[in-house]
Chain A
Amino acid sequence: MNQYTRMIVVLLIFSVLSGAVLAFSYELANPKIQEQAQKNLEASIKNVLPGITKYEQVEKEGLTFYIGLDDQGNKKGIAFKATGQGFGGPIEMMVGYDPKEGKLTGLQILSMAETPGLGARIQEPTFTDQFKGKSVNDPFEPKKDVQVITGATISPAGVASGIKSALEKVTKIYPVGGDY
Chain B
Amino acid sequence: MGEYRFLISSSPHIHSGESVQRIMFSVAGALLLPTIAGVYFFGYRALILVVTTTLAAVLTEAIFQKLRGKPVTVWDGSAIVTGMLLALNLPPGLPLWMAVVGSVISIALGKMIYGGLGTNPFNPALVGRVFLTVTFPVQMTTWINPVDGTTGATPLALMKMQGIPTDYVRLFIGNVGGCIGETSAIAILLGGLYLIYRGYVDWRIPASYLGTVAVLSFILGGDPIFHLLAGGLMLGAFFMATDMVTTPVTKLGRIIFGIGAGIFVVLIRFYGGYPEGVSFSILLMNAFTPIINRLTVPRIYGEVKTR
User: Does A22 belong to the interface (CB within 8 Å)?
Assistant: no
Contact A154 B273 (CB under 8 A): yes
Interface residue tally for chain B (C-beta within 8 Å)? 5
Contact B138 A150 (CB under 8 A): yes
User: Does B298 belong to the interface (CB within 8 Å)?
Assistant: no
Q: Which residues of chain B in 134-170 are interfacial with respect to chain A, using CB atoms and an 8 Å cutoff?
A: 137-138, 141, 161
- CB-CB under 8 A from A154, the residues of chain B are 273
Interface residue tally for chain A (C-beta within 8 Å)? 7
Q: Is the interface of A mostly helix, strand, loop or mixed?
A: loop
Contact A151 B141 (CB under 8 A): yes
Query: A152's closest neighbor in chain B, by CB?
Result: B137
Query: A115's closest neighbor in chain B, by CB?
Result: B137
Interface string of A135-163 (1 = CB under 8 A from B): 00000000000000011111000000000
Query: A117's closest neighbor in chain B, by CB?
Result: B137
- CB-CB under 8 A from B137, the residues of chain A are 118, 151-152
User: Does A97 belong to the interface (CB within 8 Å)?
Assistant: no
Q: Which residues of chain A in 96-120 are interfacial with respect to chain B, using CB atoms and an 8 Å cutoff?
A: 118
Cα A153 to Cα B153 with chains together (Å): 13
User: Does A131 belong to the interface (CB within 8 Å)?
Assistant: no
Q: How far does the Cβ of A144 sit from chain B's closest Cβ, in whole Å? A: 12
User: Does A55 belong to the interface (CB within 8 Å)?
Assistant: no
Q: How far does the Cβ of A124 sit from chain B's closest Cβ, in whole Å? A: 15
Cα A87 to Cα B273 with chains together (Å): 7
Contact A153 B161 (CB under 8 A): yes
Cα A139 to Cα B130 with chains together (Å): 35
Query: A142's closest neighbor in chain B, by CB?
Result: B161
Cα A118 to Cα B161 with chains together (Å): 18
Query: A154's closest neighbor in chain B, by CB?
Result: B273
Cα A154 to Cα B138 with chains together (Å): 14
Cα A152 to Cα B161 with chains together (Å): 12
Cα A98 to Cα B88 with chains together (Å): 53
Q: Which residues of chain B in 106-151 are interfacial with respect to chain A, using CB atoms and an 8 Å cutoff?
A: 137-138, 141
Cα A43 to Cα B273 with chains together (Å): 33
Contact B138 A151 (CB under 8 A): yes
Q: How far does the Cβ of A117 sit from chain B's closest Cβ, in whole Å? A: 9
- CB-CB under 8 A from B138, the residues of chain A are 150-151
Cα A153 to Cα B161 with chains together (Å): 10
Query: A150's closest neighbor in chain B, by CB?
Result: B138
Q: Which residues of chain A in 34-65 are interfacial with respect to chain B, using CB atoms and an 8 Å cutoff?
A: none
Interface string of A76-92 (1 = CB under 8 A from B): 00000000000100000
Cα A56 to Cα B128 with chains together (Å): 55
Query: B135's closest neighbor in chain A, by CB?
Result: A117
- CB-CB under 8 A from A152, the residues of chain B are 137
Q: Which residues of chain B in 270-303 are interfacial with respect to chain A, using CB atoms and an 8 Å cutoff?
A: 273
Cα A150 to Cα B153 with chains together (Å): 12
Q: Which residues of chain B in 72-112 are interfacial with respect to chain A, using CB atoms and an 8 Å cutoff?
A: none
- CB-CB under 8 A from B273, the residues of chain A are 87, 154
- CB-CB under 8 A from B141, the residues of chain A are 151
Q: How far does the Cβ of B93 sit from chain A's closest Cβ, in whole Å? A: 14
Cα A154 to Cα B161 with chains together (Å): 10
Cα A151 to Cα B134 with chains together (Å): 11
Query: A87's closest neighbor in chain B, by CB?
Result: B273
- CB-CB under 8 A from A150, the residues of chain B are 138
- CB-CB under 8 A from A118, the residues of chain B are 137
Cα A151 to Cα B135 with chains together (Å): 11
Q: How far does the Cβ of A154 sit from chain B's closest Cβ, in whole Å? A: 6
Query: B162's closest neighbor in chain A, by CB?
Result: A143
Q: How far does the Cβ of A180 sit from chain B's closest Cβ, in whole Å? A: 38
Cα A154 to Cα B141 with chains together (Å): 14
Cα A70 to Cα B138 with chains together (Å): 43
Query: B157's closest neighbor in chain A, by CB?
Result: A153
Q: How far does the Cβ of A6 sit from chain B's closest Cβ, in whole Å? A: 49
- CB-CB under 8 A from B161, the residues of chain A are 153
Q: How far does the Cβ of B276 sit from chain A's closest Cβ, in whole Å? A: 14
Cα A151 to Cα B138 with chains together (Å): 5
Query: B136's closest neighbor in chain A, by CB?
Result: A151
Q: Enumerate 9 A-B pairs (CB-CB under 8 Å) in ascending A order.
A: A87-B273, A118-B137, A150-B138, A151-B137, A151-B138, A151-B141, A152-B137, A153-B161, A154-B273
Further 7 A-B residue pairs, CB within 8 A, beyond A87-B273, A151-B138: A118-B137, A150-B138, A151-B137, A151-B141, A152-B137, A153-B161, A154-B273
7 closest Cβ pairs, A-B complex: A151-B138, A151-B137, A150-B138, A151-B141, A87-B273, A118-B137, A154-B273
Residues of chain B having any CB pair with chain A under 8 Å: 137-138, 141, 161, 273
